[in-house]
């Protein structure tokens, strides 16, 4: 009995070599034009005058120092006055004359110091706003010399003189 051998046809083995894909295509980042630095924005509302920033810094420092000094003076004086006022209740009526005079002087000092504190705050405001150092009347720069002497002035020497003449 001859069993016919089933001949299995040999399958041609395809050694399909995967085509080496050209992996050359490295996704090179498309270089765009070099980033341009944006042009500086046209500074809006520049203060009309230029004050040396070092000078402003120096004056700001001085203003803050003075403000602190005055502030503690004022609060000390207020304390003194409060104490004096409380003392009055016990004081002999004969003493009131002298005390009243002292109080008046104290009030005046306090008034001057408070006014000065207000001026200092205004000057600090002007520094923040960038208008510091400009005369409020003629809008010209106040000299560095004058600013150092009177850090919270808002008038140039000329306008100040005119103002004094008008007041006289």
Let me know the angle formed at the C-alpha of 151 by 72 and 74, rounded to the nearest 5 degrees: 15
- Interface residue with Zn ion, options 138, 143, 161, 163 (CB under 5 A): 138
Cα distance from N-terminal residue to C-terminal residue, the chain: 149
156 binds Zn ion, rule: CB under 5 A:
yes
Say how many CA atoms lie within 13 Å of 33 toward its Cβ: 2
Query: From the CB of 55, what's the least distance to Zn ion, in Å?
Result: 18
Query: From the CB of 137, what's the least distance to Zn ion, in Å?
Result: 4
- Interface residue with Zn ion, options 135, 141, 151, 153 (CB under 5 A): 135
Interface characters, 81-120, with Zn ion (x: CB under 5 A): ----------------------------------------
Whole-angstrom distance, CA of residue 54 vs CA of residue 57: 5
Q: What is the DSSP string of 3-40?
A: PPPP-PPPPPP---PPP---TT------PPSPPPPPPP
Nearer of residues 51 and 67 to Zn ion, judged by Cβ: 51
Query: From the CB of 35, what's the least distance to Zn ion, in Å?
Result: 46
Query: From the CB of 156, what's the least distance to Zn ion, in Å?
Result: 3
159 binds Zn ion, rule: CB under 5 A:
yes
How far, in whole angstroms, is CA 20 from its chain's centroid? 65
Query: From the CB of 140, what's the least distance to Zn ion, in Å?
Result: 5
Footprint of Zn ion on 24-83 (CB under 5 A): none
Nearest to 71, CA basis, from 120, 117, 125: 117
Token pair for residue 102? Answer: 């002292």
Q: Which spans of this chain sit near Zn ion (rule: CB under 5 A)?
A: 135, 137-138, 156, 159
């Amino acid at each position: 009995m001859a069993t016919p051998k089933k001949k299995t046809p040999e399958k041609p083995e395809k050694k399909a070599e995967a085509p080496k894909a050209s992996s050359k295509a490295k996704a090179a980042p498309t270089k765009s034009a070099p980033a341009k630095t944006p042009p500086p924005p046209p500074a809006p509302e520049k203060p009309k005058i230029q004050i040396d920033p070092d000078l402003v810094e120096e004056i700001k420092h001085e203003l803050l120092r003075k403000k602190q000094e005055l502030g503690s003076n004022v609060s000390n004086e207020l304390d003194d006055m409060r104490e004096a006022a409380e003392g009055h209740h016990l004081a002999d009526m004969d003493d009131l004359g002298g005390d009243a005079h002292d109080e008046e002087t104290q009030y005046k000092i306090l008034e001057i110091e408070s006014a000065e504190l207000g001026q200092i705050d205004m000057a600090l405001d002007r520094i923040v706003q960038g208008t510091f150092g400009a005369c409020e009347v003629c809008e010209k720069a106040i000299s560095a010399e004058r600013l150092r002497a009177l850090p919270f002035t808002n008038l140039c020497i000329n306008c100040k003189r005119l103002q004094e003449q008008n007041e006289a």
